Structure 1
Amino acid sequence: MKQLLNFPEEISSWSDNADFCNTEPSQILTLSCYEDSITQLHVTGNNWFPHLIQDLSAVSLFSNLASFPDLKVLSLVSLGLKGPLPPEIGKLSSLEILNVSSNYFDGSIPREISSLKNLQTLILDYNRFTGQVPDLIGSFPALTVLSLKNNSFSGQLPNSLTNLGSLRTLVISANNLSGQVPVLHNLTNLQVVDFEDNNLGPQFPSFPTKLISLVLRKNKFYSAISDGLKSCYQLQKLDISLNELIGPFLPSLLSLPSLTYLDIAGNKFTGKLSQNISCNTDLVFVNLSENRLTGELPDCLQPDSKSRVILYGGNCLSRRYQQQHPYSFCHNEALAVIISPQKQQEKKALWESSSCIKYGGRNWWWNGTSWPGLSGFQKKI
């Protein structure tokens, strides 16, 4: 290991007789032991390791690491490591925590990683991993933290995620993932979910009620939100902004007892707000902007201090601060949502094949440019 790391200053004095377990930790290198056996190894650079040789073989590195039979924690962060994550990772059978974030690992997750049956934390953030998140990800019975953010994973999430009964944190933000999210309702220990900046959708996912933070920002969800959110009494942060979510906004979300951060901006939520809606007094950020809300801004959302941020522009609220659309804008948009089919293919077929629709007990005929007498509808996708 000393040779592979090119003799950094912190270990330049090490010899075969060095007492590694009593070495003072440094900014770059930290060792921990139990009964004279190395159990933790943390090596941290700054996007590059100042002494690391350019042609370092990741295979050689992990092969040498396999000589530590009791290694439970391995953290190799910001070292500039390149190429695929070596299959030799499977030889570290005692690992409980693996963190190789902020490197240049690419390719897919090696199948040999499934040999790490004791794994509790897997962090692969800020690399260049590609391909699908493999089914083997569900083969870690003790996994509590799975973080894959800022990679290039694509395709659908595997259904095997539902096997991770101990999972508490699931972070897959900033990838190219798409399709429907598996039903995660039975993962009763799940507390932190971050799916930001993917192409997931269209149906709003199903989650357990112990959530503390839920971020679905910037995806392709365009259904109604789940009523189950009203029962998430521990929820502190909810960010579902920049989707195309429809249906009535649930005012009861504002009064969730633990909520401090709510962002629903950039959707198509409808509904009439009233001044007497109640809110959690601990709310510090609320963003209702760019929806189809009407009525009055609730009194409990009046910006009463510099520490509270309330945004509500781009709706049709009677309060004219923060620019509002005329009421007709939100009314017509709400009517259009009513007849929108659940599936995009069905919606496309309706507009392309029909010259007549039934709505409100009446037939409405298309004249080539509009539905006379029924405002707000357009013959387009």
Structure 2
Amino acid sequence: MAKLVFHSHLLLLIIVFLSLHPSSQLQQHTQSQTLLKIQRLLNYPSALTSFSHRSNIRDFCKIEPTPSLTLSCYEGNITQLHIIGNNGFPPLPRDFSADYFFATLVGLPSLKVLSLVSLGLWGPMPASIGHLSSLEILNVSTNYLSGTVPLQLSYLRNLQTLILDHNKFTGQVPGWLSSLPVLAVLSLKNNMLNGSLPYSLASLQTLRVLCLSSNFLSGEVPDLRNLTNLQVLDLEDNYFGPHFPSMPSKLVTLVLRKNKFRLGIQTALGSCYQLQKLDISLNGFVGPFLSSWLSLPSIKYLDIAGNKLTGLLYKNMTCNSELAFVNLSSNLLSGDLPTCLKKDSNSRVVLYSGNCLVNEDQKQHPSYLCHNEALAV
């Protein structure tokens, strides 16, 4: 009886092994064929020359990484694929199909990291992107992808990084982005997005980096104070305003350059002790320039140029010793440039023309001009 049970268990194990092994081989063969198909669909780019004369997954997994190609495997399955083309790569031929290309990628079911940069991809990003359910990082920057950001990206529940920079995406920043439970990096720079930001963004508490520069976005920025993990906020070159946005206190980089902000700056900015870069230039901010910005504990880069900030500067004001770049140009500042900002004190870059300072080495306005404009403001 015991021998019969033993043989039954052994037979069961053999059946399970035989049933799994061909499936594993088939999956590996499918992945190899998928890679070769990707090479063909991308019009045989130079980044993929190492794909030639390879036919099985083991050969592909042995490819040494280069600046233009990284392919990583785990237990015979492809988990990372980075393909980086040349800057300025033209659009792929007219017979290229984004639908077919992204559907082909489904043949890599274990893919966690996918970077397809500067490869000439064009057309709308298709719904099939939602089938890459293991994706944690997606970067399709510097292509010619168009249309709206597809809803099917919301199916990628493991997505931590989404980079769609330098494409031709249109429409609004989608509200469903807040449904991605672990999204930490969202970058949609240099597209043609418009409209206001969804207030649901304020609930993305996992977010660490939010870059939306060089679009056509407008309106008020949602209250972001609850985004306690946010370290980088870049809204440059849009139409946001007029109120200064409410910010979390752990910001490292804040860029609001070239928008439509017109009112005062929140004094809470002075409590951002981790802030290294502050750029609020080319807006219409009014009110006092706070000398504390020069001495924030971590500040290295400060640009307030092209606003209507007022205030009296003194020689004995203090500066952070790590401050490497300061631009105070084209405001309504008067008084004397602080000694800590003078060129002979260190190697930092300091610009301050277009104010009413007593310093004569950079072009200044007469003091009455700043006084009169300050009263008008």
- 1:144 paired with 2:195, answer no
Match of 1:113 in 2: 153
Residue from 37, 42, 47 that aligns with 1:3? 37
CA–CA separation in structure 2 for the residues paired with 1:90 and 1:51 = 24
- Match in the other structure for 1:82: 122
Q: Is the 8 A contact 1:182 1:205 kept in 2?
A: yes
Q: How many residue pairs get matched? A: 337
TM-score (norm 2): 0.85
Q: 1:166, CA displacement in angstroms? A: 1.1
Amino acid of the residue matched to residue 249 of structure 2?
Answer: T
CA drift of 1:335 comes to 1.1
Aligned to 1:71: 111
What is the match of residue 40 of structure 1? 80
Residue identity opposite 2:200 in structure 1? S
The CA deviation string for residues 299-328 of structure 1, in whole angstroms up to 9 with x for no partner, is 211112572111111111122331111111
Q: Is it true that 1:19 corresponds to 2:59 in the alignment? A: yes
Contact 1:301 1:310 in 2 (8 A): yes
Does the alignment pair 1:124 with 2:158?
no
CA distance in 2, matches of 1:141, 1:33: 26
1:297 aligns with 2:297: no
Residue type matched to 2:39 in 1?
L
The secondary structure found in structure 2 opposite 1:55 is: coil
Q: Which residue of 1 aligns with 2:232?
A: 192
Once the 2 structures are TM-superposed, how far is the Cα of residue 47 of structure 1 from its aligned partner? 4.3
* TM value normalised by structure 1: 0.85
Farther-moved stretch of structure 1 (111-120 vs 272-281): 272-281
Please, which of 250, 265, 268 is the counterpart of residue 225 of structure 1? 265
Between 14-23 and 97-106, the greater mean CA deviation after superposition: 14-23
User: Using a 3 Å threshold, how does the CA distance of structure 1 residues 64 and 268 change in structure 2: closer, same or farther?
Assistant: same
Deviation at 1:178, TM superposition (A): 0.7
1:269 aligns with 2:303: no
After superposition, give the CA deviation of every residue in 1:173-195 in whole Å (9 maximum; x if it has no partner): 11111110011111011111111
Structure 2 partner of 1:345:
none
Deviation at 1:332, TM superposition (A): 1.1
Distance 1:167 1:180 in 2: 19
Q: Hey, what's the Cα distance between the residues in 2 that align with 1:254 and 1:84?
A: 46
Indicate conservation of the 8 Å contact 2:221/2:241, yes or no.
Answer: yes
What do residues 37-56 of structure 1 show as CA deviations (whole Å, max 9, x unaligned)? Answer: 11111122114779966522
Counterpart in the other structure of 1:56: 96
Q: Given residue 123 of structure 2, which amino acid in structure 1 is its aligned partner?
A: G
State the Cα deviation string for residues 168-219 of structure 1 (Å, max 9, x = none). 1111111111110011111011111111111111000111111111111111
Q: Which secondary structure state, in structure 2, belongs to the residue aligned with residue 329 of structure 1? A: helix
- In 2 relative to 1, CA 49–14 (structure 1 residues): closer, same or farther, beyond 3 Å? farther
Q: What does the per-residue CA deviation read over 1:84-141, in whole Å, with 9 as the maximum and x for residues that have no partner?
A: 0111110011110000001000110011110011110000000000111111121112
Paired residues of 1:203 and 1:222 also in contact (CA < 8 A): yes
Structure 1: tracts of 5 or more residues without a match:
338-381
Kindly, what percent of the aligned residue pairs are identical? 61
Contact 2:92 2:122 in 1 (8 A): no
- Give the number of the structure whose residues are more often helix, by fraction: 2
Structure 2: distance between partners of 1:18 and 1:211: 44
- In structure 2, distance between residues paired with 1:191 and 1:119: 19
Q: Distance in 2 between matches of 1:24 and 1:256?
A: 45
Check if 1:95 corresponds to 2:135: yes
1:285 alignment partner in structure 2: 325
2:150 and 2:240 map into 1 onto residues whose CA distance is 24
Structure 1 distance, partners of 2:69, 2:296, is 44
Q: 2: distance between equivalents of 1:332 and 1:214?
A: 31
CA distance in 1, matches of 2:254, 2:203: 20
Instruction: Trace 1:132-171 onto structure 2 (pairs within 5 A).
Output: 132-171=172-211
Choose which of 67, 70, 75 in structure 2 pairs with 1:30.
70
Supply the AA of the counterpart residue of 1:163: S
Change (3 A) 1:22 1:4: closer
1:318 maps onto 2:358 in alignment: yes
Contact 1:4 1:52 in 2 (8 A): no
User: What is the Cα deviation at residue 238 of structure 1?
Assistant: 0.6
| Separation of aligned partners in 1, 2:88 and 2:299 | 40
SS in 2 for 1:272: strand
Does structure 2 retain, via aligned residues, the 8 Å contact 1:5–1:52?
Answer: no
Root-mean-square deviation (Å): 1.8
1:5 match: secondary structure: helix
Match of 2:298 among 258, 272, 279: 258
Distance 1:21 1:256 in 2: 49
Quick one: structure 1 residues 296 and 306, their matched pair in 2 at CA, closer, same or farther if it must change by over 3 Å? closer
- Secondary structure of 2:268's counterpart equals helix
- Kept in 2, the 8 Å contact 1:200–1:221? The answer is yes
Deviation at 1:34, TM superposition (A): 1.4
